[in-house]
Amino acid sequence: MAARDIVIVGGGHNALVTAFYLARKGHKPLVLERRGIVGGAAVTEEFYPGFRCSTLAHAGGPPLPSILKDMNLAGHGLVKLESPVRIFAPLPDGRALTLYTDTQHSAAEVAKFSQKDAAAYSEFQKGLARAAGIAAQLLALTPPVIEKPSRGDIWKLLKLGRKVRGLGKKEMMQLVRWGPMAVADFVAEFFETDLLRAVIAARGIFGAALGPWSAGSTALLLLRAAADPFPVGNSAMPRGGMGALTLAMAAAAKEAGAEIRAGAEVEQILVKSGAATGVILKSGEEIAARTVISGVDPRRTFLGLLDPVHLPPSFLARMQHYRSQGTVAKMNLALDALPTFTALKNSSDGNAALASRIHIGPGIDYLERAFDHSKYGEFSTEPYLDIMIPTISDPSLAPAGKHVMSICMQFAPYRLKSADWSRQRDALASTIIKTIAAYAPDLPGKILAQQLLTPKDLEDIYGLTGGHPFHGELALDQIFTMRPVLDWARYRTPVDDLYLCGSGTHPGNGITGASGANAAREILKDLR
C-alpha cells in the first residue's frame, strides 16, 4: 500500500488552493481527481469540433486578491479579460439597460428609464461597497464555535464588530436588517425601475433554490458583493475560459510541491479507530495517508465515501437533511455567427454590450414566476438566463468568425415531478432557445451544435451531488457557522484527520478560492 503525507479528494479550484498552501509549508499533498482534467466546475472543454467553452461556470469569483498574489497566477499564464460593460439586459419591447464598470456611465443608462433611479444609483453602489467591505472580512474568517468561541475567535469578531460600528449607527442598523430580507424588498428600497431591480436582485438568487421574494436572498447578494462590490457582479473571464484559471492553480500547486493525479476516482475514505487513514481508489489501489481532505461536496463525502458507522448519529441525521438539490441547467451553443439582438439594432457597437454578461429576466415578478415552476417539480417555461458570448473577447475559443454562447438557465429542478430528465432534455433545450429568440430572433438559424447539461448531468458527469454547483444550498440555515451543519463549520469533521475544503464549507460561494484557503489555514494549525 502506497503511503502519503496528505491526500486531497477531488481537484476543483478550492482543492487546488488548499494543496498549494499546504505544499508551500513543506507538505507533499497528493490531489486525486476522478475526471481526466482538474478544475471541478471551473473547466474549459471542447463540446463541438473547434468550439471550446467554460462548460459550467462562465464567470465567477473573482479569486481573492491574496490567492491571486500568493499563487502568482499571472505568472502561471492567467490573463484576465474584462469588458467595460458589466451587464446587458434587453427587454421584449426592444429597449435595454446596460450597466458599466464606470458609475457615471451606468447612471446615464439608468436615466433612460428613471431620473430618480439614476440619482440613486451611485449612492446605492457606494453603500453596497461599504456593506461588502464588512462582508469581505467574513470571507477569510473561520466560523467561530457558537457555544465555546476561542480567544482567537472572540478577537476576530471584536475586530469585525469595530468595522461594523465604523459604518455609523444608521448604516449599521441597515446592514443588520438587510441580511434576512427578500432581495425584492431590498432593491425596492432604492429603485423604481423593474428591470433595474431584477438585474440587481438576480445576484441574490443565482444558483440557489430561491426567488426574489425568498427570505435571506439579500444575504446571498451581500456574500457575493464581498468578492466583487459592483451591484451586478463581474463579467470578467480568463483568456481560454474558466479552465485557464484552474490550470494556473494546478501549475502553482505543483510548483509548490503538490502532486496531482487525474483519472483517479476515490471510492472510499478509510477510517480506523475514529481517524481517517487513507483512501481506496475505484481501481482498487489503496493509498495510506496521515491526513485526508475532501474537496468534494459534503453529502458525497459523508454519505457516499464514508461508512456511516464512523459518524455520530446526530451528525448523520443533520447531513441527511443537508439541502443540495440544484436548480441550474447549462447550455453551450456553437454559433455560425453572432445573433442579432433587437435591442442593439441601432447600436453603433453592439459587440461591446454582448462582450459582457447578458441578463434575461425583465422584472421581479418574472424571476419569481420562473422560480415558482421549480417548487412544483417543473422547469421554467419562461426562465431566467445568465448568458455570455466569450468569443467576442477571446476568439481562440472557436474557429475564425464563429462564436460560442454560454447559458446558465434557472430554474430547472434536480427532481422532476412527472418525468425524468432523459425525456425532458429536448423540451428544456427548446425552451431555452425560444426564450433567447424573443430577444434575438435570428439565433435559431445560427446554431451549429448544442450541449445541454441538466442538474442530473452535473451530478453524473461532474460529481456535484444533486446537481448543485455550490455543493449545497446557500440559505440562511446553511451559511457561515452552519455550513455545512452547525458545530462543524471549521473545516474539521467528526472523523479525526479528515477535513473539508470545498464549496460546502464557509463561505462556499463562487470561484473565490476562500474555502480552500481557509481550510488550509486550519489544517496547518492542526498539523503543527
CA separation for the pair 406, 387 (Å, rounded): 6
| Mean pLDDT (whole number) for 88-112 | 96
**Angle at CA of residue 83, ends 77 and 89, nearest 5°:** 135
pTM of the model: 0.96
Task: Note whether 496 and 289 are within 8 A (CB).
Answer: no
CA separation for the pair 476, 184 (Å, rounded): 16
| Mean pLDDT (whole number) for 286-306 | 98
The HSE-up count of residue 20 (CA atoms within 13 Å, CB side) is 29
| Mean pLDDT (whole number) for 187-199 | 98
Whether residue 138 has pLDDT greater than 90: no
| Mean pLDDT (whole number) for 367-372 | 98
pLDDT tens-digit series, residues 120-129: 999 999 999 9
pLDDT tens-digit series, residues 208-228: 999 999 999 999 999 999 999
Q: Write down the architecture of domain 2-79+241-323+465-527 according to CATH.
A: 3-Layer(bba) Sandwich (3.50)
Whether residue 201 has pLDDT greater than 80: yes
- Report residue 206 CA to chain centroid gap: 9
Task: Note whether 410 and 206 are within 8 A (CB).
Answer: yes
Task: Note whether 55 and 332 are within 8 A (CB).
Answer: yes
Q: Which pLDDT belongs to residue 346? A: 80
Q: Which pLDDT belongs to residue 132? A: 87
Q: Which of 179, 174, 176 is nearest to 204 (CA)?
A: 179
* Helices 115-139 and 169-178, axial angle in degrees (round to 10): 80
| Mean pLDDT (whole number) for 111-130 | 95
Q: Which pLDDT belongs to residue 308? A: 93
Band of residue 163 on the pLDDT scale cut at 50, 70, 90: low
154 burial via Cβ count (<10 Å: 0-12, 13-18, 19+): exposed
Residue 395 makes CB contacts below 8 A (sequence gap 6+) with none
Whether residue 146 has pLDDT greater than 80: no
Band of residue 1 on the pLDDT scale cut at 50, 70, 90: low
Band of residue 510 on the pLDDT scale cut at 50, 70, 90: confident
Band of residue 249 on the pLDDT scale cut at 50, 70, 90: very high
Band of residue 150 on the pLDDT scale cut at 50, 70, 90: confident
CA separation for the pair 353, 251 (Å, rounded): 34
Task: Note whether 288 and 252 are within 8 A (CB).
Answer: no
Whether residue 156 has pLDDT greater than 70: no
78: cell is: 492567467
- Report residue 252 CA to chain centroid gap: 22
Band of residue 165 on the pLDDT scale cut at 50, 70, 90: low
Task: Note whether 5 and 28 are within 8 A (CB).
Answer: yes
Task: Note whether 514 and 64 are within 8 A (CB).
Answer: yes
Classify 304 in phi/psi space as left (phi over 0), alpha (psi -120 to 50) or beta: alpha
| Mean pLDDT (whole number) for 374-401 | 97
| Mean pLDDT (whole number) for 335-355 | 90
CA separation for the pair 394, 83 (Å, rounded): 11
Whether residue 157 has pLDDT greater than 70: no
Cα dihedral 249, 253, 256, 260, rounded to 10, equals -150
Mean pLDDT of the chain: 94
Q: Which pLDDT belongs to residue 161? A: 67
* DSSP code string of 215-283: TTHHHHHHHHHTT--STT----EETT-HHHHHHHHHHHHHHHT-EEEES--EEEEEEETTEEEEEEETT
Q: Which pLDDT belongs to residue 267? A: 98
CA separation for the pair 187, 201 (Å, rounded): 7
- 164-168, 186-190, 287-291, 307-311: segment of lowest average pLDDT: 164-168
Q: Which pLDDT belongs to residue 509? A: 86
Task: Note whether 289 and 5 are within 8 A (CB).
Answer: yes
Domain boundaries, the chain: 2-79+241-323+465-527, 103-225, 324-462
pLDDT tens-digit series, residues 44-94: 999 999 999 999 999 877 899 999 999 999 999 999 999 999 999 999 999
